Amino acid sequence: MGSLDFFQRFLITSLFLITGCNCEEPVLAKDMKFKLHSGDLMPLVGFGTYQIRGTELIRDVLDHALAAGYRLIDTAKVYRNEEDIGKALKELLPKYNLTRQDIFITTKLSPNDQGEKAYDALQESLRKLDCGYIDLYLIHWPGAYGVNASKVNNSALRAESWKQMVKGVKDGLTRNIGVSNYLVRHLKELSANDFGIKPAVNQVEWHPRNRPSDLLEYCNQEGILLQAYSSLGGTDNNDLLKNADVDKIAKKLGKSPAQILLRWPLQQNIAIIPKARSKKHIDDNIDLNFVIPDEDMAILSGFSQNRYAWNPETVV
C-alpha cells in the first residue's frame, strides 16, 4: 500500500471541516479517526489506563473520559484492570446514550502468553471485558517472559502468537490485530509471514525524545497506524513536561505543556492514548483543537534522543 493511500485513510484530519462552511476550521480532536484495513474507524485520541486500577477509580475516570468525548479505551492483560473496565462500561454507556458499537476497545497479549497460549489469552481478555468482541488486540512486546531477549525463540513465539490471533479474528473474538513495541525488523519479519492479516497498528513509545523516523516511514508505507504511548515522557517523569522549549511554546499558544506534547504527534497523524486520573487532566488531554506552527514543530522534532520505557532493540 502506498503512502498516499495510507494518508487517505485519515478520514478526518486536524485541519479540515468538511461540510456546510465556506471557511476552514479545525476539527475537534475527539472526532479524528483512521480507517483500519478492516474498514473499522479507529479514534486517533484514546484514553490510556496503565496503572489505573480499582473498581471505583476505573469507574470514575471512565465516567470523566466518556463525558469529555473519548471513545477509545486502551488496556492490557498486564494492567490488571480489564474486568473493572468491562463492568464500568456496562454501567456508563447508557448514561451517555452510547452503545458497544460507539466504543473502541484495545487490549494486549501479555509476554507470558506468547505462542500457542495466545488464543486462550485473547478469550480470557474478552471474558473479563465482557464486551462481545475486542476492537483491537495487540502483541504487547516482541519478546516472551522467561526467554532471553537474545534468543531466536522469541521470533518463533511471536509468529505463533500472530497465527493464533489471526484465528481470533476469523472466530470473531477481535476485529483487528496489531503489535506494540515492534521495530522495523520485527515488522518486516511479521510481514513475511502474516497468515493473511497485516498488522493494523503498532503502539510504541513516541515523543520528542524518541521519534525513530525509519519506523514512522515504514509504518506509513505499509499502512500501519503508529500509536504513541508515553507521549508526556512516561510515568513519574517530568523531563518533557518541564522542558524549557516545551514551556515556551505552550505559553506562546496559551496551552499547557501536556497539550503541546500531545498535539505534536497528533499533528503528524500519529494516534495517542494519554492517561489521567483527574477530571481536569482528562479534559485537557483531549482539548487539542489547535495547530502548532511549523517552526515550533521543528523545535520539538529536534530534541536529543532518550527512551523512557523498555527498549525493544534488545529483542531478537
Contact 105, 73 (CB under 8 A): yes
Which run of H or E residues covers position 44? none
3-class state of residue 287 by DSSP: coil
Question: Residue-wise over 143-157: b if at least 16 C-beta within 10 A, else e?
Answer: bbeebeeeeebbbeb
Contact 58, 83 (CB under 8 A): no
Pairing of strands 47-48, 72-74: parallel
Grid cell for residue 212: 525513530
Is 79 assigned a catalytic role? yes
Contact 165, 173 (CB under 8 A): no
Residue from 269, 193, 260, 198 nearest 233 by CA: 260
Maximum pairwise Cα distance, the chain: 60
Which is catalytic among the residues 70, 79, 137, 218? 79
3-class state of residue 286 by DSSP: coil
Residues assigned a catalytic role: 79
